[in-house]
Amino acid sequence: MDDLIKYAPDLLAGFLENVKLSLICGALALVLGTVLVAARVAPTPVLRAAGTLYVNVVRNTPLTLVLAFSSLGLSDTIGLTFSETPSTNSFWLVVFGLSAYTATFVCEALRAGINTVPLGQAEAARAIGLTFLQSLRLIILPQAFRTVVAPLGSVMIAMIKNTTVAIAGGYLMESAFRMRDTFDDTGVSIPIFLGLVVAFMAVTLPVGFVTSRLASKLAVAR
Amino acid sequence: MTEPGDPRTLVSLRGVNKSFGALHVLKDIDLNVARGEVVVVIGPSGGGKSTLCRLVNRLETIDSGTITFDGQELPAEGKALARFRSDVGMVFQSFNLFSHKTILENVTLGPIKVRKVSKEAAEKRGMELLERVGIASQAAKYPAQLSGGQQQRTAIARALAMDPKMILFDEPTSALDPEMVQEVLDVMTGLARDGMTMMVVTHEMGFARRAANRVVFMAGGEVVEEGAPDEFFDSPRSDRARDFLSKILTH
């Protein structure tokens, strides 16, 4: 318990990094996932193929490899840098990798949602003269989103937990890495371990609760 | 029937063929619809009536032949196709109202997003149209809260809101409870009287007799017979039409 109190400020600072990563990646993944699903249902075969390829490759690659690729491949080899400061640079590389990865799950959840929207909705949208993008944006996606709020919540929970593998992208500031670092000094401390678990649950449980409440509230009556 | 080059012709199908896989649903269809004309398409199920209706606003594509609307061949895709569709209303068998939008929003969406009408103007017109089809008091409700007949009348108002040059009706009363059929037919009869160009696929023979200028009888993917309603119902020329009518009119 003393260990937990002693290292709490450091661990909390680390945990705030997890929260920061979660907020930024969550927002980016939702945007990118929506763009991906638009590509996957687009009338243009090339766009559909590109979307499918991206999702199948990235979704089926282990996250540690995606992050390692961001850091070692994109940054070190190709030279993609977000900042001169190494820790800031690796923060954004992790944001890049984790968002790109999570977006594929967002895309697939949304695509499942689109499949629940009756075909007649799209036909009616086209029949009043809406373009493909308009009918997607105004008619199809709003209904799809409402049906998959709960699964999207699961995607977000998984993503929040996935911020603890940021080390694979070379980012050493988040809480799980700090915890292991601390264990090197103090030996394994169960209170520290449990403290971090509680911190994560304090974020993930509400996400699950709120999204399932929203899901029943937003459900589209047919 | 008007000729393709006639300025009174609004829609003209020439040698149109359509197959779904091995199923040849429409065979060499030639058909014109004049401005202000009400054409009712009847015939046995699976005869290609709905497909014919859906071809006219290109919800289905054709395999061969030509379809012209207002003298222009139908645009194949993109913005031009969307613009064309905004001029052709469509009323579906299953209503297809936008489930997540209110009744009023269903009617104003097209004018606002496609015609770029202001929200105020679109709502004012929308309420007038809902008044006309008799459901203004339901404007703030969602489609699932309305009866089938009310939903279908909303769908007609939604089509009217675009000021279409023509409205296609694809079996508009087939999914309705019997007591709601009449309220929808009344609205349609009113439109016909006001001079709206309409193509109506239906099994409502009473409506066909009352409101149609011309009845087109389709079976086996072909236009078997067409003519004025009285003429068609009282003295059908083809055996298939006689057979069909004897089955539906005797009870």
Residues spanned by the domain of A149: 20-172
Q: At a CB cut-off of 8 Å and minimum separation 6, what does B188 contact? A: B156, B169, B172, B198, B200, B207, B211
Q: Decide if B113 and A138 are in contact by the 8 Å CB cutoff.
A: yes
Q: How far apart are CA B196 and CA B204, in angstroms?
A: 19
Instruction: Find the residue in B nearest to A221 (Cα).
Output: B144
Residue A154 forms contact with B (CB below 8 Å): no
> Which of A120, A139, A146 is closest, CB to CB, to B92?
A120
Q: How far apart are CA B106 and CA B108, in angstroms?
A: 6
A72 exposed, middle or buried (CB, 10 Å; 0-12, 13-18, 19+)? middle
Print pLDDT tens along chain B (251 aa): 566 567 788 999 999 999 998 888 999 999 999 999 999 999 988 888 999 999 999 999 999 999 999 888 888 888 889 999 999 999 999 999 999 999 999 999 999 999 999 999 999 999 999 999 999 999 999 999 999 999 999 999 999 999 999 999 999 999 888 888 989 899 999 999 999 999 999 998 989 998 999 999 999 899 999 999 999 999 889 999 999 988 887 65
Whole-number pLDDT of residue B1: 56
Instruction: Find the residue in B nearest to A127 (Cα).
Output: B85
Whole-number pLDDT of residue A29: 97
Is the residue at A95 inside a domain? yes
Q: Which residue ranges of chain A lie beneath pLDDT 50?
A: none
Q: What is the ipTM of this complex?
A: 0.90
Q: What is the CATH number of the domain that holds A161?
A: 1.10.3720.10
Q: Decide if B144 and A222 are in contact by the 8 Å CB cutoff.
A: yes
Residue A59 forms contact with B (CB below 8 Å): no
Contact B160, B129 (CB under 8 A): yes
pTM (2 d.p.): 0.88
Residue B218 backbone dihedrals phi, psi, to 5 degrees: -115, 140
Instruction: Find the residue in B nearest to A141 (Cα).
Output: B100
Instruction: Find the residue in A nearest to B110 (Cα).
Output: A128
Contact A158, A179 (CB under 8 A): no
Is the residue at A69 inside a domain? yes
Q: Which residues of B touch A131 (CB under 8 A)?
A: 78-79, 82
Nearest to B140 by CA among B106, B180, B96, B91: B106
Is the residue at A57 inside a domain? yes
Is the residue at A179 inside a domain? no
At residue B64's C-alpha, the angle toward residues B61 and B70, to 5°, is: 70
- Distance from the A24 Cα atom to the nearest Cα atom in chain B, whole angstroms: 29
Is the residue at A33 inside a domain? yes
Q: How far apart are CA A133 and CA B194, in angstroms?
A: 35
Whole-number pLDDT of residue B250: 64
Whole-number pLDDT of residue A84: 83
Whole-number pLDDT of residue B201: 95
Nearest to B69 by CA among B39, B32, B40: B32
- Distance from the A144 Cα atom to the nearest Cα atom in chain B, whole angstroms: 10
Query: For the CA atoms of A44, A48, A53, A58, what is the dihedral angle to 10 degrees?
Result: 130
For residue A111, the one-letter residue type is: R
Residue window 23-62, chain B: list those with CB within 8 Å of chain A: 57, 59
Contact B42, B215 (CB under 8 A): yes
Number of domains chain A contains = 1
Is the residue at A164 inside a domain? yes
Is the residue at A197 inside a domain? no
Q: How far apart are CA A219 and CA A164, in angstroms?
A: 33
Is the residue at A6 inside a domain? no
Distance of CA A133 to the CA centre of its chain: 24
3-state secondary structure B25-74: EEEEEEEEEECCCEEEEECCCCCCHHHHHHHHCCCCCCCEEEEEECCEEC
